[in-house]
Amino acid sequence: MNHSLHRPKVVSVNSPSEAAEKTSNMIAEMLVATPRITLGLATGSTPIPVYQDLVQRHRDGTLSIAEATSFNLDEYLGLAGDHPQSFRAFMDEHLFRLVDMNVSRIHIPDGLATDLDAHTKAYEKAIAAAGGIDIQLLGIGSNGHIAFNEPGSSRTSRTRVVELTSDTIQANSRFFDRAEDVPRQAISMGIGTILEAKRIVLLATGPAKAQAVKDAVQGDANESCPASLLQYHPDVTFVLDAEASSLLQ
């Protein structure tokens, strides 16, 4: 593992739409140059415009994703892939069903897996068998979490079952009818898994992310802000709108 620290590259633009376009440009350029790449994908409201842009490029005939392989960061424990609030359903709605992706190359943790230890180990093996992740898309929680790696997660953590914090449950309750419907656990790639991606792009927009972005980019690298551990990776780009970058020096 890389033990030296690197300040992430920061790309700051005015609006969320510009930030999404910058991010989709990076992904599309890699797909055009190397169609067989492995993508690490994220869910949540922030990357939706990225996926919309990739879908539009596909419709325009300038982008094919047919040869790419994808691995999603996480999935709620206890939700089937066809549950409307599952991350599999989210990806189907916003990307997979709208482009030419090969279903056999799509990987998302199984929220209904019975042998969780075997399932998480198999997920790690599948990433390795695909040659590792070429470009990992990330978001960031207001508490600095990446994927579902909450504060306190180890830098060497691997894909595993995680307990969600009350902050994360509250933040995700907007996607459910009631806060009590939000699952309390998830399967998530670990920070160690994420750090093995060849390239990482973190997209953050809005004022609620500004403090977490500042801590991640300019704070010390420590487990109290999981995103700050990205400083151990040599090729990380934070793509930010004006509000998310407002606290950076």
Q: In the annotation, is 74 catalytic?
A: yes
Q: 231 with 7: CB under 8 angstroms?
A: yes
Q: Which of 134, 150, 215, 243 is catalytic?
A: 150
The pLDDT tens digits for 81-104 are 999 999 999 999 999 999 999 999
Cβ-contact 93, 86 below 8 angstroms:
no
| Residue 25 appears among annotated catalytic residues | no
Domain that holds residue 140: 9-240
Residue 246 lies in a domain: no
In the chain, which residue ranges form alpha helices assigned H by DSSP? 16-33, 48-60, 87-94, 116-129, 166-172, 191-195, 210-218
- Name the average pLDDT for the chain: 96
Q: Residues 190-221: pLDDT tens digits?
A: 999 999 999 999 999 999 999 999 999 999 99
CATH (domain of 48): 3.40.50.1360
| Catalytic residue (one of 53, 74, 134, 215) | 74
pLDDT in tens, 141-170: 999 999 999 999 999 999 999 999 888 888
143 catalytic per annotation: yes
Q: Is residue 248 part of a domain?
A: no
Out of 75, 145, 233, 241, pick the active-site residue. Answer: 145
Q: How many angstroms separate the CA atoms of 118 and 234, rounded?
A: 31
Averaged pLDDT, 29-35: 97
Let me know if residue 247 belongs to a domain.
no
1 assigned to some structural domain: no
96, 86 Cβ separation under 8 angstroms: no
Tokens of 146: 């990446």
**Predicted local confidence at residue 42, as pLDDT:** 98
Q: Is residue 245 part of a domain?
A: no
| Mean local confidence (pLDDT), 114-139 | 98
User: What is the structure's pLDDT at 170?
Assistant: 87
2 falls in which pLDDT band (50, 70, 90)? Answer: low
The total domain count for the chain is 1
